[in-house]
Amino acid sequence: MKIALYGTRIKKENLPWLSDVYDALSSYDVELYIHRGTLDYLVELKQVLPSYIDVYDDRLPQDTDYMITLGGDGTILRAAELAYRDNVPLVGINMGHLGFLAAISKENIGHAIDILFKGEMTFEEKILLEVRCPSMPERMIAINEVAVSRKDSSSMIAIEAYADGHYIATYRGDGLIVSTPTGSTGYSLSCGGPIITPATQSIVLTPVASHNLNVRPIIFRDNVKVYIKVSGREDQYLLSLDSCFQPMNWDEEIEIFKSKYTLRVAKMPQEDFFSTMKEKLGWGSDERN
């Protein structure tokens, strides 16, 4: 089996858990690869690496079976850029904070690797959003959300939004979020958006600090194409796809739609969406009882 490791700047206190990953994988017949950026960082910290490990750069090794991420949800968002094109499943080991996507706790590494190699790991298929804009020749994808927001000013911006060619509204405020079910428990939720269960085939438009009291989040089927025009007093607005940001000029209009690609993300067999909600967000808890 061919395994690719990916991490960003792993905290020093989490480095001992990396040895647990090596030990767990050494029990199986694997070809192990590590991303060059991760390797350079670990070498900088004088970390000892397994002798059988190899290196990859901007493309995963051919026929990679799984990509194991070492970090939090942000690490998975960055790893997705490498994984989705080749339909390689992500197995996230949570060395961050929240861990909604990186669902495997670092204390549970050995058990999780065993489950993976026994073929008992379950995977959720995540829809991806894609952005089309004439000024962006390369495909850009998002797992959580695509958002437009004001850039260098406290002045509100105006966002005209259309769905399949039909005018929805002009949102005046700080921005607008187009979120997947995966992203509904993130930025969209913090702005008053609804929680959407993973299997729901929908996306949600959530205004950010809207100055219109008569607009609220709105849910569409995920096959909708959202078209956005932005205007304001400054020279540019900000387009963000998960953790990737790009300044845009006012005349750069964007179209957002469900990508033909999906992303498979591991979760432990006994876990479900609501138990994760309860653990990570305190869903349904009542301190009065």
Q: What is the pLDDT of residue 223?
A: 96
Q: What is the pLDDT of residue 49?
A: 85
* CATH class of the domain at 129-260: mainly beta
Rounded to two decimals, the pTM is: 0.91
How is domain 2-121+268-281 classified at the CATH fold level?
Rossmann fold (3.40.50)
Tokens 């495909």 belong to: 139
Which of 79, 100, 148, 34 is closest to 267 using CA atoms? 100
pLDDT in single tens digits along all 289 residues of the chain: 999 999 877 777 778 888 889 999 988 999 999 999 999 888 888 888 888 889 999 899 999 999 999 988 889 999 999 999 899 999 999 987 777 888 888 889 999 999 999 999 999 999 999 999 988 767 789 999 999 999 887 889 999 999 999 999 999 999 999 999 999 999 999 999 999 999 899 999 999 999 988 899 999 999 999 999 999 988 899 999 997 899 999 999 999 999 999 999 999 888 888 888 887 788 877 777 6
CA separation for the pair 181, 100 (Å, rounded): 12
Do residues 195 and 218 lie in contact, with contact meaning Cβ atoms separated by under 8 Å? no
Q: Residue 259 — φ and ψ, nearest 5°?
A: -75, 155
Catalytic (active site) residue 242: no
Which of 67, 73, 239, 57 is closest to 143 using CA atoms? 73
Q: What is the pLDDT of residue 102?
A: 87
CA separation for the pair 113, 122 (Å, rounded): 12
Three-state secondary structure of the chain? CEEEEEECCCCHHHHHHHHHHHHHHHCCCCEEEEEHHHHHHHHHCCCCCCCCEEEECCCCCCCCCEEEEEECHHHHHHHHHHHHHHCCCEEEEECCCCCCCCCEEHHHHHHHHHHHHCCCCEEEEEEEEEEEECCEEEEEEECCEEEEEECCCCCCEEEEEEECCEEEEEEEECEEEEECCHHHHCHHHHCCCCCCCCCCCEEEEEEECCCCCCCCCEEEECCCCEEEEEECCCCEEEEEECCEEEEEECCCCEEEEEEEEEEEEEECCCCCHHHHHHHHHCCCCCCCC
Q: What is the pLDDT of residue 186?
A: 92
Question: Which residues of the chain are in CATH 2.60.200.30 domains?
Answer: 129-260
Q: What is the pLDDT of residue 238?
A: 94
Q: What is the pLDDT of residue 33?
A: 95
Catalytic residue among 73, 86, 114, 242: 73
**Sheet containing 175-179, strands listed edge to edge, beginning at the edge strand earlier in sequence:** 218-221, 202-208, 175-179, 145-150, 236-241, 244-249
Question: Which residues of the chain are in CATH 3.40.50.10330 domains?
Answer: 2-121+268-281
